[in-house]
Chains A and B, each alone.
Chain A
Amino acid sequence: MPASTATTWLEELRTTAREAYAAEPVPSWRRSGFWTTSLRALDLDSLEARGYEPVGGLPEIVTGALGQAEHAGLIVQHGQSTIYSDLDPALAEQGVIVCPLEQAVEEHPELVRQWYMRRLSHQEGKFAAASAAFWSGGVFVHVPSNVKVDRPIQSVYLIDEPGTAQYAHTLAVVGEHAECSIREYCLGANIDGQALHAGGFELYAQAGANVRLAHFHDWGTGDIYDISTKRVEIARDAHVDWVPIHLGGRLTKQTLDIITAERGSDMRHTGLYFTERDEHLDLFTTDRHEQGHTTGDTVWKGALTGRSRASYEGLIHILPDSQETHTYLQTHQMLLSSQAKGDAIPSLIVETDDVSASHGGTVGELDEGQIFYMTSRGITRSEAVRILVEGYFEEVVTRLRDPGLEELVRHRIAEKLKAAEDQVAEFIGERAEVG
């Protein structure tokens, strides 16, 4: 069967998505109160997909983030091109697949077709359509049933030139009773100009599978826009522990959904964000329970400095006939600057009885009582602030259960706090005098 025939189904999907893209307006997102996410400043027509040749060594920004730890497999996409693809041959022999999605469409058409876009749709707005229509390279991960992968499977999307439009798609399928850890990095150089990452991510954890998933976003100080949808589906008795981390980007608008789709499925979802300067972050997560006897635990924590804006909305949605669902969502946001603004909104839709679902949200500032306590032990005020903010995030960071990545996140948070030291000192100083 010639390849062109094998991929006809994909071409048809791309065509439909392209039409949707052309028909859809550039969206903006409004909520009650002051919150609007607008793309007015984004000059979409000036952006283009950029190709790169594979290189011998990886760019420094990638090696810096990945660290020295061994991986099971690694895919690096630079702009629209896969520049690096690697998989431990011993795992390949066990049937593990880690390769560009483009390649998987050719080599494993039935497998890809079975799962591709099961939970994503090109009908979710202009940028979901764009990524479905225009993605290239991409990432495909498949861990067959009963296979346990002991080192992380890693993928990287890199943007390092202004004017880049990057359309991304990651599809991960983890078979029954398989176990693995997947980490995806979205990395940007500190570019001078605009760029766009429009991505789709889908993970299917089949019955009894156990997956640890981390997303690490650090788009740098340039004007990189990230408009993405990430969805995780958890089948019967499977467990996914998902930790998304957001540490930088001019504007990020992400929809993050975690679906406990069958009885016994269980998830833990723990997120972290730190915004600074004039960054704008808009996150909407849904903890969706489609059947009974499912469980969830969601915690999101953020901090804001500079004139940044951050909004986190977390919805628990329990569908009809999902009795015996137990889930919990907590979100906290800490303001560290008088000019930053944010909100943290937990919400709940319950369409069945006999469930337990609780949610809570706080937006606050550093507690003067805690600062006084620490300074009374001889610790300086600025040191106390640093310790408190790092301690506040520690609950999330330790949930990564990955020393290398934990250190990277701690290091970046410390850097951001250091950069904002003067304004934070001024902010809490003003408040101390008022007190």
Chain B
Amino acid sequence: MILEIQNLHVRTEEREILHGVDLKVEQGETHALMGPNGSGKSTLANTIMGNPVYEVTEGKIRFDGQDLTEADPDERARAGLFLAFQYPATIPGVSVANFLRMAVNARRDEPIKVKDFGKMMREQVELLKIDPEFVSRYLNEGFSGGEKKRAEILQLAMLKPAIAVLDETDSGLDIDALRIVSDGVKALSGPDMGTLIITHYTRILNYVRPQFVHIMLDGRIVRDGGPELADELEQKGYEFLREEVAAANAG
């Protein structure tokens, strides 16, 4: 299955943020989308998932041959897309376990058996080195930054999407938390999952090595390449790229 983004233009009420983005992510591939703050990375992630705050004015989002450009977020999720949020919402009164069960059931015809669900959850909780008590807490209520990110990865592990977009999952994590989250992503990656890692920094890419790297500046993808592109960025920084792009445009 392929997630295919073609000439995507996106705006909010105030202004246009994405000015024609093209990107293809296939099941089994790992991509990194890098860019400075405000370049439109999170807008792209949210638009892929159908956040109603963003309006697509031109272009298409296709998944598995289906046009999802106008689909509701829940349809996209059921089709196999997943977004790990940069700032996940707090859901008071709903425990992590209950939320997971509702999300798992949302993509099944028959509700999962309580026993099967419990087993599945215990396995993933163990894999991600999560305290079993954690799942009885209300989702994201009073969670630390690291706990929120771990809850996102736990959902990813339970829902097993075809394509996962990780929006700045590495930000705000200390080195131990980053390692646990990265190990989780690595363990879940494989022929059945495509991953788009959105990040400002290169450090997560030391743990999860992408095959493809894309760089976004001012609402456009300005460079595509292999992992060496991330290394180049590490050395030269975004300013260097910005100048290079400006020079190319001028010429």
Q: Which A residues are closer than 8 A to B by beta carbons?
A: 367-370, 372-381, 383, 387-388, 390-395, 432-433, 435
Question: Chain A: which residue is nearest B78 at the CB level?
Answer: A378
Closest 7 CB pairs of A and B: A391-B93, A394-B93, A378-B106, A378-B77, A373-B89, A377-B103, A375-B73
Partner of B93 from the list A374, A395, A432 (CB cut-off 8 Å) is A395
Partner of A388 from the list B72, B78, B85, B91 (CB cut-off 8 Å) is B91
Bound Cα distance A383, B72 (Å):
14
Question: Chain B: which residue is nearest A388 at the CB level?
Answer: B91
Bound Cα distance A433, B13 (Å):
11
Q: Are A394 and B92 in contact (CB under 8 A)?
A: yes
Q: Is the interface of A mostly helix, strand, loop or mixed?
A: helix
Chain A residues near B107: list those with CB within 8 A: 378
Q: Which B residues are closer than 8 A to A by beta carbons?
A: 49-53, 72-74, 76-78, 82-83, 85, 88-94, 99, 102-103, 106-107, 138, 155, 159
Q: Are A380 and B106 in contact (CB under 8 A)?
A: yes
In the assembled complex, how far is the CB of residue B111 from the closest CB belonging to chain A, in whole angstroms?
13
In the assembled complex, how far is the CB of residue B148 from the closest CB belonging to chain A, in whole angstroms?
11
- If A372-B51, A372-B73, A432-B52 touch, does A378 touch B89 (CB 8 Å cutoff)? no
Q: Are B53 and A368 in contact (CB under 8 A)?
A: yes
Q: Could you pull out 11 A-B pairs where Cβ atoms are within 8 angstroms?
A: A367-B89, A372-B53, A373-B85, A373-B88, A374-B91, A375-B50, A376-B49, A376-B74, A378-B77, A379-B103, A391-B138
Bound Cα distance A381, B91 (Å):
15
Q: Are B93 and A392 in contact (CB under 8 A)?
A: yes
Q: Are A373 and B91 in contact (CB under 8 A)?
A: yes
Chain A residues near B155: list those with CB within 8 A: 377
Bound Cα distance A381, B52 (Å):
12
- If A377-B155, A378-B74, A381-B72 touch, does A370 touch B89 (CB 8 Å cutoff)? yes
Chain A residues near B103: list those with CB within 8 A: 377-379
Q: Are B89 and A369 in contact (CB under 8 A)?
A: yes
Chain B residues near A376: list those with CB within 8 A: 49-51, 73-74, 76-77, 82-83, 85
In the assembled complex, how far is the CB of residue A117 from the closest CB belonging to chain B, in whole angstroms?
39
Chain A residues near B85: list those with CB within 8 A: 373, 376
Partner of B91 from the list A370, A375, A383, A395 (CB cut-off 8 Å) is A370
- If A372-B73, A381-B72 touch, does A391 touch B92 (CB 8 Å cutoff)? yes
Q: Which of A376, A387, A432 has the most CB of B within 10 A?
A: A376
In the assembled complex, how far is the CB of residue B169 from the closest CB belonging to chain A, in whole angstroms?
15
Q: Are A375 and B93 in contact (CB under 8 A)?
A: no
Question: Chain B: which residue is nearest A398 at the CB level?
Answer: B93
- Known: A380-B74, A388-B91; 10 extra A-B contacts, CB below 8 A, are A369-B89, A372-B89, A374-B89, A374-B91, A376-B77, A376-B82, A376-B85, A377-B74, A378-B78, A379-B103
Chain B residues near A392: list those with CB within 8 A: 92-93
In the assembled complex, how far is the CB of residue A406 from the closest CB belonging to chain B, in whole angstroms?
12
Bound Cα distance A388, B77 (Å):
19
- If A373-B85, A377-B159, A378-B106 touch, does A391 touch B73 (CB 8 Å cutoff)? no
Chain B residues near A391: list those with CB within 8 A: 91-94, 138
Q: Are A372 and B102 in contact (CB under 8 A)?
A: no
Q: Are B106 and A377 in contact (CB under 8 A)?
A: yes
Question: Chain B: which residue is nearest A372 at the CB level?
Answer: B51
Bound Cα distance A380, B103 (Å):
10
In the assembled complex, how far is the CB of residue A374 from the closest CB belonging to chain B, in whole angstroms?
7
- If A390-B93, A391-B94 touch, does A368 touch B52 (CB 8 Å cutoff)? yes
In the assembled complex, how far is the CB of residue A270 from the closest CB belonging to chain B, in whole angstroms?
13
Question: Chain B: which residue is nearest A397 at the CB level?
Answer: B93
Q: Are B77 and A377 in contact (CB under 8 A)?
A: yes
In the assembled complex, how far is the CB of residue B211 from the closest CB belonging to chain A, in whole angstroms?
26
In the assembled complex, how far is the CB of residue B17 from the closest CB belonging to chain A, in whole angstroms?
15
Bound Cα distance A380, B73 (Å):
8
Chain B residues near A383: list those with CB within 8 A: 102, 106
Bound Cα distance A77, B201 (Å):
70
Question: Chain B: which residue is nearest A387 at the CB level?
Answer: B94
Chain A residues near B102: list those with CB within 8 A: 377, 379, 383, 387
